[in-house]
Each structure stands twice: as structure tokens, then as C-alpha cells.
Amino acid sequence: MSVNQKPQQPAVLKNGLDIGRLLLEGRAFLALIAIIIFFSIQSPFYFSLSNFLIMSSHVAIFGLLALGMLLVILNGGIDLSVGSTLALSGVFAGYLMQGVMIDSLGIILYPPIWVVVILTCALGAFVGCINGVLIAYFKVPAFVATLGTLYVARGVALLMTNGLTYNKLAGHPELGNTGFDWLGFNRLFGIPISVIILVIVAIICGVLLSRTAFGRWIYASGGNERAAELSGVPIKRVKIIVYMLSGICASIAGLVLTSQLTSAGPTAGTTYELTAIAAVVIGGAALTGGRGNTRGTLLGAFVIGYLSDGLVIIGVSAYWQTVFTGTVIVLAVLLNSIQYSGRAKKKSNP
Amino acid sequence: MNLPGTEQSVNKQESFGHVVLSARDINKSYGNIHALKGVNFDIHQGQVTTLFGENGAGKSTLMKILSGIETPTGGDIILDSQPIHFTSTVDARDRGISIIHQELSLAPNLSVRDNIFMGREITIASGIDYVEEERQTIKLMQELEEDINPLTLVEELRLGQQQIVEIARALSVNSRILIMDEPTSALSATEVEVLFKVIRDLTSKGVSIVYISHHLEEALQITDHAVVLRDGNMTAYGKRQEIDLQWIVRNMVGDNFNLGEPPQGYEFGDVALAIENLTVMDPAGSGYALVDQLSLTLKAGEVVCIYGLMGAGRSELMECVAGRLSNDTGNVLLHGKNISNLTIAERIALGLGLVPEDRQRDGLVQTMEVGKNLSLASMKAFTNWLFTVPKKEQALIDKSIQQMSVKTDGGHAAIGSLSGGNQQKVVIGKILATKPSVLLLDEPSRGIDIGAKAEVFKLLAEGAKQKLAVLYSTSEVGECLSIAHRIIVMRRGKIAAEFTSDVTKEQIMAASGESLVV
């Protein structure tokens, strides 16, 4: 499901050196295995299917954000607003669930769940669209534009709830809006819905990147925007759509999280954007754009999720968790630069 | 030890003209490209040595080696009869060699004063001695007869003044060998006069000058020695008294430099591309027209060369026709249809393609493999509804690789693993895969070897016979004669002259402003 970015090695190079390269390119996978082995030894509760499924449902939130972030980073940008968009989406869904009062008609609308989901995703797309237009047409640097929407979206979420949380999300059978908890709690064939959603989004993302013209355009304009433009790639449109997709991913994550917590709080998802960026980077994507794939990003999300949950299980303090997560991120970026500079050397000496 | 100071004091007159720095049998390769092939070059004390050569002849590379920026692959550099090995530019500067680069190397966000003393600030106990730096800057500006406040930011200066600052910086080092790579390209005639006065002043003090310029006549005014480079070889040396303009042009371009003849034996079709009264203003907002009310037509099957110096407006014309730059006046008609307001993608779909000047910056996506670079511009051809069809894409890639004879071990190789010539073939192949009817090429032979150049020319000739209209921009006069049916010379955004293929090299160069005498 991923785009093969590995350069084909000439046969001469396939010697002992290649094992090192293999380790380097499969590092996220190896790191995940190392984490699983380590915590399985440390704790008898870690290595079990039910624990993996629970941890995976935690990973789903970061994974969804990271997939959207991957598209943006491949395109050469960055989206700092996803954490806030997640919170805004959750609050917006909660608001819809409470019933929408229309004063002029004197009625209260209780939209069914599927309408709530669609409207919430539309909101995420709208936030992403603002980012995209600012960046593509008004030439605002991506970092600054999305930093701005980070604050604005968070502020709107706080305004909507007056700083409080929406708790009554169960809905009423007589109003026909029950079932919101399905997203966060139910299972299909024993697998949490949130994990299934992550898998579906990942498959869509993978197909998009490897099998569509649009995916190629993301890679091309992230790798060299000027060259892509001269080759007829509509770089501005690509940019806007990429941020909209990131916004939609954040909304889906917001819906899942709200359902898992059975409450919609305006402070949910603070600093999640950084975790998402970390997952993408651990997955081997280059922050300069053009390099990376879905498989790596998913692995990156699982590395972060399984690591932090494992630390909780063996009872390491939350402060140490932060230290470990940071170390893993720096290590990942270090390996990225080794990998890409190795390629650059090959270039100059063919 | 042979110190320059003692030398000068012993007998100033006698030491003049002897060789201070010489390059012996210098070779330089970048991967498969041999930029310099056994070049010998002498710099004479207190005199001006001019290096002539077309773009890509290796002039700048040689100067980079002499100033410690690049290390040669082979050969020796001899300073004061001692073989020497520069470790860095600072090392070269400490030994009294400094260079004024062709491309400005100033920090636009800093003031003139800070730029001049960048990297060698005058320090006192309290930090930088701004007063002294400012005093010296004012003195330098007076010397160059330029009224620039030392505290002005460089970005607020016009290009010519920036070049003056660059020159002032090199002068401030008090070097004994000063290399000037195209110092006058943005200067006005008066400023050039002042610069020449400064050069004469410096040489009378014993400073040796290496001068590079495309303005041949101008260089002849100041030079004492002339060395000509062609394709990395030194082709001629002469003293000022022995040479003239014809001698330079003949040695620069070469007599038997021939890549073939313009394709013959068929009729041209209808007008494929018509440019009417096109103006492109400087996007930086200087109020200066890069392309100035230019009109030209191009028929199907016709190859037209646009010749001109750097900054003549050729690239801007090309980029405007291709759709990257918007035009301020005029129209571009493709097969009679006005395309002035269409996007680049729409123009490509209508059959207009551009091979850009700088393939690293505008041509290639370095993060993608060879095949994906080749297929990038023609994705519609192998996309069904939303999805790409890998088989169709592979077929297109294989066909392109074969057609362009790209030397690669398959479409999956990294683009960076190819040589310059093959990378250029990928850029051209990418555009040809869109099946254009009008092809724009902006200096496509830049930095590729003669073999690859010949292959590109063959392809263009074949394309032209199949009714492809080609607009070819170049700064190498030999290329015009071997491919073009018609040659248009551009100068300052306007058409300065138009020739048929039976013109001589000297006539073309004269019209471009490189010389006034023919």
C-alpha cells in the first residue's frame, strides 16, 4: 500500500553493506518489534491480544492525525492546527448532539448520527481549506498559517462551550440520534471500530499516494514545486486539497476521541499535532517534502502509541514517558538524515 | 621566502609582468563531466589577464580553483614559484587572492558596511569597531565614485550598485591577485569607466587582475593578456598587441565546431506560435521591462534560435510563453488560439512545452525516480478516471527512455545517479512525452557534454521534420548555426536583429552587444 521510494540497488552493492541499509530502512518496524519484546518481558500483561487491541484503539487517534499530516508533509508543508481541529470537531459534534435550536421557527433539530458525522467532517475540511488558501494563494508560510488556525480553532471551541464540556452524547431513541458511542466502544469481529476506521483511512491514503495522479502530484510538488508546476501540476489546488484532507482526518479523529471519552471537551487534543508530526518523522518521511509513505507513518504511530502505553503498564512516571518519546523522535530524525545524506553521496558518485 | 612586499620594493618596474600565479595542467571533473582538461594559465604581476570563452567553457571553474573554492582533480597551482594547495577560500584570501563572483554573494538583509566586512570584522575591546568600518567603507565608495551610504541595506540597492559593493568588498582585502568574474554585467557605461580606472590604479600598484567578461570589446580595452578557453581546453594565448576581436571570436567558437546542419528537405507548415507585442515587467517591481514589446512567429517544422547575452530577456520570454510569468501587454497565440490567460497545464494540454534553463531548479524532482520524472507531465495518458495504470505508465517510460536513449539501469534508478546529459534528456523526454507541437528549449545544452548535445540536436531535427516547431534559446553562437533556420538576437528585452542560417558568428555576436566592430 505504499509508494516504493527505495532506489533500486545495482547488483554489485548487494553485499554485507546492504544489511545495514536494510536495518536503516526498516528501522520503524524493528523499533516496534523491539518495543513489543521489551515490554513483554517487563510485564506479563503487555503481550496479549486484548491489550494490543486496546493500545491500538489509542493509536487510532494519533494514526488518523498522522496520516493527514503525512499528506501535508509530503507536499512540503506542515499542519500545526490538527490538534485544535480535532477539539473543534468534537465540540461541534457534541453541539449537534445536544440539539440545534432554531429560534425563528421555535424548533429544536436533532440531526441523526450520519448527518453529524458528515457535517463534522465538512467543518474539518473547511478549516483545512482556510489553511490551504492562506498558504497557496496568500503565500503565508505553512508554519505561521496553521499556527494561526491552531489558536483560532481552539478559541472557537472554547467559545462554543464557554469552556465547559458536552457530556450528553448518548442521544435519545425517540429522537433517532443514538449510536454515537458506537464509534468509540463497539467492536466488529472483536476489533475496535476506531482501529477499523484507521485501517480504512490508511488504505485510502495508501491508494491515493501510490495509485492516483493526485498522489503523484503530492510527491512531485513536495519534491520540487517549480519543476512540478512547469510539468503542468496544479500546485495550488493540490496544496489546498492536501490541507483539506488533513482537516478531515483531524475531524474523524475528533469524532472517535469524543466517542471514546463520551464527552466533547474544548481542550482535547492539545499538542496532538506534535505527536502526529513525530509519527510521520519516525516513519521515515522527510520534513522537506517528497519522501515518505503510508506504511512508515502507520508504523511511526504504533511505535509512539505502544511505547507510551507500555511505559504506563510497567509503571514508569509520566515525566519519564515524555523523555523517552522525545529521545525516540530525535533518534528517528538522526537516522533520517543518515539515510538521505547517504543517498546524496551516491548521487554525486555514480 | 618571496614576499610580495619585498619584491615590489626592490625594483617595481622590473618585477612587473612576471608570473605570480600559474596553473599547470589543471584537470577538473564533476562525475562524468570534464569541466577542465589540462589547462595552463598564467597571471602576470601588475597586469590584466582576460579569460575568454563561451558559457560552459570552464572559465568560472578555473577561477574557482585559483581562488580555493574548488580543488582540482589534477594539476598544480604555483604561487611565486612554489607549488601550493589551497585548503579553503580563507586560505587563498590570506595568501592575497580574492575573487568577485559572477553571482552576487551578498547578504541582502545586511548593510553595505556589514557586507564589506563580513567574516573579517574589525574588532576592538567593546566588540566591532563600526566607526572604523564605516570610515573605510566611505573611502572605498569614494574610490569607486559611487554615492552609497554605508548603512543602506544591500537589498535596497539596484543591481549595479550591489555589484559595486561586491567589488568594494574584494578591494577592501588589499589582495595582490584579484579575480573578477563578469564584474560589469549589471553596470552602466559610466560605472564601467570608473571600474576600469580603479583597475588601472590597482595594476600600477602591482596588483594582478584576472578579468572575465562576455563584453569582448570592453575587455579588450583593459586587458594585457588574453587566454581563450573552449570546452575545458585552453585554445589560445595572446598579448594585447597581437590580438583583435576576430582572433578572440575565432578561438572562442572554433572553426570546426559543427553539430550538424539545420534540418532540410521539407516545407514549413502554418504558423504554430505567434507572439504579439509581448511585454513582461520585472516581477521585483523595478519598473524595467524584461521583455519589451516583442513579436515573433514560428511555423510548424521551423527551428528558431534566440541568441542573447545573460539578462537579455530570453528566459523571461520563454517562461512567459510557457505560462509561468504573466505578460503585461500583448498576446501569445498557439495555432491561432489565444493562450495568454491559460494555466501551464492547459498550455501543455494544447501542445506547448518548455524545457527550462536550470534543470535542477525547474526541471527535475530530485526525490522521484527516473521513470516518475519522465511520466510526470503526461499523467493523463495513463490515468483511468482516478487511478493510474502501472502497465501503461511503464510502457510510456520505457518508450521515452528508448527514444531519448537515456543511459540508466531502468526507470527505477534515482534521478541523481544520472550524468548531467542524461538528466537533461529526462527533462526533454518528459516534455516530448506530452506530444507537443511547439517546443520551447531554454539553454538545453548547459552543462552537458558534446556527445549528449549532438544527440539532443538530432532529436530536434527529427522532431522538426515531423512538423514540431522549436524555439531554442542559447548563448552559444555555434549552436545557432548548426540547428536554426532562423536566428533572432535579443538584447535588453527586444529583438536586436534577425538572421537566416547563412549568417556568420561574428555578425550574430555583434548584434547581441558583445562587440560593436565587425
Enter the ipTM. 0.81
Which residues, 6+ apart, have CB-to-CB distance to B257 below 8 Å?
A: B230, B478
Where is the domain boundary, B381, B412, B435?
B435
Residue B180 and residue B145 share a domain: no
**What pLDDT score was predicted for residue A237?**
94
Range of the domain at B345: 258-351+436-518
Residue A314 has pLDDT above 80, yes or no: yes
Q: DSSP letters along B328-377, please? A: SEEEEEETTEE-TT--HHHHHHTTEEEE-S-IIIII--TTSBHHHHHHGG
Domain presence at residue B102: no
Segment of A124-138, B6-20, B382-396 carrying the highest mean pLDDT: A124-138
Judgement on whether residues B330 and B476 belong to the same structural domain of the protein: yes
Q: Is residue B225 part of a domain?
A: yes
- Backbone dihedral angles phi then psi of residue B489, each to the nearest 5 degrees: -100, 125
Q: Which three cell numbers stand for residue B43?
A: 597571471
Phi, psi of B42 (to 5 degrees): -115, 140
| CATH number of the structural domain spanning residue B448 | 3.40.50.300
Q: Could you tell me if B181 and B167 lie in one domain?
A: no
Q: Residue B56 above 80 pLDDT? A: no
Domain end: B146, B173, B200, which one?
B173
CB pairs A-B closer than 8 Å: 106
Q: What is the mean predicted confidence (pLDDT) over B118-123?
A: 84
List CB contacts (< 8 A) between B386 and chain A: 212-214
Confidence tier at B515 by pLDDT (50, 70, 90): very low
Residues of A in contact with B348 (CB under 8 A): 231-232
Tell me the three cell numbers of residue A319: 515525566
- Comparing A326 with B252, the larger pLDDT belongs to A326
What's the pLDDT at B285? 66
Looking at the structure, tell me whether residues B180 and B245 fall in a common domain: yes
What secondary structure letter does DSSP report for A44?
T
Specify the range with the lowest mean pLDDT, choosing from A107-111, B77-81, B174-178: A107-111
Q: Could you give the CA distance from residue B29 to residue B450 in angstroms, rounded to a whole number?
A: 15
Chosen domain end from B153, B173, B193: B173
Torsion angles phi and psi, residue B329, rounded to 5: -135, 165
Cβ count within 10 A of residue B272: 27
Longest dimension (CA), chain B: 84
B142 and B80 housed in the same domain: no
Measured CA to CA, the distance from residue B41 to residue B36 in angstroms comes to: 12
- Looking at the fold, whether B75 and B155 belong to one and the same domain comes out as no
Render pLDDT for B345-375 as a digit per residue (tens, 0 to 9). Answer: 999 999 999 999 888 888 999 889 999 999 9
Write down the architecture of domain A56-338 according to CATH.
Orthogonal Bundle (1.10)
Residues sharing a CB contact under 8 Å with residue A315, sequence separation 6 or more, in sequence order:
none
Q: In the prediction, which pLDDT does A150 show?
A: 95
Please report the pLDDT score of residue B468 as a whole number.
92
Mean pLDDT, chain B, rounded, equals: 84
A314-318, B52-56, B315-319: least confident range: B52-56
Q: Which site among A224, A230, A287 would you substitute to test the B interface, given the most B Cβ atoms closer than 10 Å to its Cβ?
A: A230
Same domain, B83 and B201: yes
The answer to the question of residue B429 being in a domain is yes
pLDDT-derived band at A331 (thresholds 50, 70, 90) equals confident
- pLDDT the model gives residue A153: 94
Put simply, the chain B residues between 341 and 400 with a CB less than 8 A from any chain A CB are 343-345, 348-349, 354, 356, 361-369, 372, 376-377, 379-380, 383, 386-388, 390
**Structure confidence at residue A1 (pLDDT):** 40
The mean pLDDT value for A187-194 works out to 85
pLDDT of residue A348: 40
Report the alpha-carbon distance of residue B464 to residue B467 in Å, rounded.
5
Per-residue pLDDT, B106: 87
Number of structural domains in chain B? 4
% of chain B at pLDDT higher than 70: 92
Q: What is the mean pLDDT of residues B219-234?
A: 86
Which is nearest to B42 in space by CA: B238, B329, B292?
Answer: B238
Which of A164-168, B205-209, B432-436, B460-464 has the least mean pLDDT? A164-168
pLDDT at B238 over 90: no
Q: Is B402 part of a structural domain of the chain?
A: yes
CB A254 within 8 A of CB A85: yes
H or E element, residue A100: strand A100-102
In this structure, are B134 and B208 located in the same domain? no
DSSP state for residue A266 in the 8-state scheme: T
Residue A337: how many CA atoms within 13 Å on its side-chain side? 5
What does DSSP assign to residue A289? S
At residue B355, the pLDDT reads: 93
Q: Is the pLDDT of residue A253 over 90?
A: yes
Q: What is the pLDDT of residue A345?
A: 43
pTM of the model: 0.80
Is the pLDDT confidence value at A129 over 80? yes
The residue among B361, B365, B370, B383 with the most chain A CBs within 10 A of its CB, best to mutate, is: B365
